[in-house]
Amino acid sequence: MGNKLCVTLVAAVASGYLLRRQGLRWGATDEEVHKPLPGDDVVPHPMWETTHTVTIDASAEEIWPWLVQMGHYRAGFYADPS
């Protein structure tokens, strides 16, 4: 019984570590993770760093109309004002 518990605990910790590591850089390439981004100078040495990316195969002109409709009380970001 003790060995099964130990193996389960080690497997859970290892899985948690691997999933967390992958989650901190979801979708990002090594180049994207290490390149400087706007705002990096605000917190020069953060305790945690997370980079999530999505690659969209389209020009900025095609994406802009979709971006401007996002936000509070706009496409999909609705909330009850009361």
Q: Give the separation between CA 25 and CA 33, rounded to whole angstroms.
A: 7
Which residues of the chain register pLDDT less than 70? Answer: 1, 71-82
The domain of 48 spans 2-68
Here the tokens at position 22 are 């992958």
80 domain-assigned? no
Give the pLDDT confidence of 50-65 residue by residue, as tens digits: 888 888 889 989 988 8
36 domain-assigned? yes
39 domain-assigned? yes
Q: Give the separation between CA 78 and CA 27, rounded to whole angstroms.
A: 27
How many independent structural domains does the chain possess?
A: 1
29 domain-assigned? yes
82 domain-assigned? no
Mean pLDDT for the chain overall:
80
6 domain-assigned? yes
Q: Give the separation between CA 22 and CA 33, rounded to whole angstroms.
A: 12
Q: How far is CA 37 from the centre of its chain?
A: 14
pTM metric for this prediction: 0.46
81 domain-assigned? no
